[in-house]
Amino acid sequence: MKSNIMRILILISVISLTISQAIAADKPNIVIFLVDDMGLMDTSVPFITDGKGNPVRQPLNNWYHTPAMERLAEKGIRFSNFYSHTVCSPTRISIMTGKNAVRHHTTNWINPLENNKGKWGPPDWNWEGLTADDLTLPSVLKKAGYHTIHIGKAHFGAEETEGAEPLNLGFDVNVAGHAWGSPGSYYAEKGYGAEFDGNRKRRAVPDLEKYHNTGTFLTEALTIEAKAEVDKAFKKDTPFYLYMSHYAVHAPFDTDFRFIERYENSDKNDRAKAFATLIEGMDKSLGDLMDHFENLGIAENTLIFFLGDNGSDAPLGEADDIASSAPLRGKKGSKWEGGTRVPFIAAWGKDDPQNPFQKKFPVKAGAVQEQIGICFDLFPTVLEIAEATIPHNYVVDGQSLKKMISGKADKKRENIYLSHYPHWHRSNMFTTYREENWKIIYHYFPEEENLNTHYFLFDLEKDPTESNNLSGQMPEKVKSMMQKMVNELEATRALYPVKDGKEVKPRMPKS
């Protein structure tokens, strides 16, 4: 009797697998190429426009060298107003869940060892990250027949939690992902951190022992591993979801000596030169993967999404300066545009107008989209491409990018962005709200930053550098924007700073 039951169960399993494979055979490959700490200006591809869809080169575009990004932009569409969160873990979990960080409550970077809420930060923010019970993008894609591959940085959960291991979150394969968000070292001779002591040793990148002492830079080792995993999916004739998540260009700023010659004679500091080599090494990885897809004959069936996880951390100037993100103000961790606007490109690996996947999901080559896009929009976008479904009661904050990627304006889209950071870091305890070209910044404790007001109001169309605070001149606009901000915070169940045992919510301006 038991043997008959076992045979039936095996038969059901085989039938289910066969059906899943048959469904999956009619699906494109999907790649999310995520770069750590890469801001809008850390590239030779211009993303800033003249307001009419024409990209305008900036001085930093002439400093960086990213030919593969240029190639990808020629094949696809780039967004001039694409947002991630101000630090890494919130963005990564938003991509995984389709939710704004305000809602999923991982509002700061995850310290793998402790609750790093900071001074007056909400004590019950989700510092431990994702769990195996959470619905995630790879888990949904896996059920839809995809082979799900995680390469590189994870940073989805603290040490000794389920979220620390990507295999618990829907990935079939995990190479190099663990609880830590920065590598101990980029150098194979240092065991990618294993040769150090203390926390730097704990940050050692796992699963790459075969590369130790081979001279293989970390970015290159991850690229080799990604190509090998793609090959396995190709041999099985299975569509894949590749989450290519580089540790680059996060600190430590170890020089990638393959590219240093280009920058040696510059008058910039040595750390800035090292950062530029990390950018170029990341770009080589992108180009190598694109070449690999073409060599396998799958480029026309492979849709690539390229983005950064927060604003630039280039060692050029401080957080509030116009330097590392020039002409934008600020950098990683800040409330300014340079802290949250990131490069975003969507492109098919090879343009083929007759390809059935490309007919269903067209991408306008060489175009620039000026509507607002956000990192958690990737969740519904990818699910639409994969024709994968989620429970009807699952809340998604993201909106599909399908129409915008085709080069058209999406008139049904809400062009708003809410960024909530109730923690102390580089620019402290703020909420920002953007609607169309208007942006308001609310400071919870302005006196701690030597500010004389809670409110900063900017017209980004006329003032992209956020230099002219209009809050004193336009009180009614401040009030209107604040009301919308508060409504969004409440609708997404925001957590607020806690001081003296009391929750501190935004104050509406006095009439």
pLDDT in tens, the chain (511 residues): 545 555 554 444 444 443 334 444 689 999 999 999 999 999 999 999 998 889 999 999 999 999 999 999 999 999 999 999 999 999 999 999 999 999 999 999 999 999 999 999 999 999 999 999 999 999 999 999 999 999 999 999 999 999 999 999 999 999 999 999 999 999 999 999 999 998 899 999 999 999 999 999 999 999 999 999 999 999 999 999 999 999 999 999 999 999 999 999 999 999 999 999 999 999 999 999 999 999 999 999 999 999 999 999 999 987 778 899 999 999 999 999 999 999 999 999 999 999 999 999 999 999 999 999 999 999 999 999 999 999 999 999 999 999 999 999 999 998 999 999 999 887 789 999 999 999 999 999 999 989 999 999 999 999 999 999 999 999 999 999 999 999 999 999 999 999 999 999 999 998 6
**CA-based nearest residue to 227, from 306, 307, 171, 284:** 284
- Residue 215 Ramachandran class (φ > 0 left, ψ -120 to 50 alpha, else beta): left
Residue 319: per-residue pLDDT = 74
User: From start to end of 226-381, where are the E strands?
Assistant: 240-246, 302-308, 344-348, 367-369, 373-374
Question: Would you state the structure tokens that stand for residue 46, as one six-digit string?
Answer: 């211009």
The number of beta carbons lying within 10 Å of the beta carbon of residue 470 is 18
Whether residue 447 contacts residue 320, with contact meaning beta carbons closer than 8 Å, is answered with no
Outline which parts of the chain fall under CATH 3.30.1120.10. 429-503
DSSP for 168-236 reads GGT-SEEES--S-SS-S-S-GGGGGGTTS-HHHHHTPPTT-GGGTTTT--HHHHHHHHHHHHHHHHHHT
User: Phi first, then psi: what are they for 386, rounded to 5°?
Assistant: -80, -5
**Which pLDDT belongs to residue 317?**
86
* CATH superfamily, region 24-405: Alkaline Phosphatase, subunit A (3.40.720.10)
Positive or negative, the Cα torsion across 111, 114, 116, 117?
A: positive
User: What's residue 9's pLDDT?
Assistant: 47
**CATH top-level class for 429-503?**
alpha beta
Q: What is the DSSP letter of 408?
A: -
Neighbours of 57 (CB within 10 A): 11
Cα radius of gyration (the chain)? 23
**C-alpha to C-alpha distance for 419 and 206, rounded to whole angstroms:** 32
> Is 304:347 a contact under the CB 8 Å cutoff?
yes
Residue 363 to residues 51, 72, 241, 356, Cα–Cα distance (Å): 21, 12, 19, 13
Note the pLDDT of residue 231.
98
Looking at residue 23, its pLDDT comes to: 40
Per-residue tokens: 309: 């996880």
Q: What is the SS3 assignment for 441?
A: strand
For residue 193, the tally of other CB atoms under 10 A from its CB is 23
Query: Tokens 């194979």 — which residue?
Result: 188
* Residues of each domain in the chain carrying CATH 3.40.720.10: 24-405
Q: How far apart are CA 194 and CA 205, in angstroms?
A: 8
What is the 3 state secondary structure string of 279-308? Answer: HHHHHHHHHHHHHHHHHHCCHHHEEEEEEE
Distance set, CA 204 to CA 150, 176, 246 (Å) = 17, 9, 14
Separation between Cα atoms, residue 376 and residue 385, nearest integer Å:
15
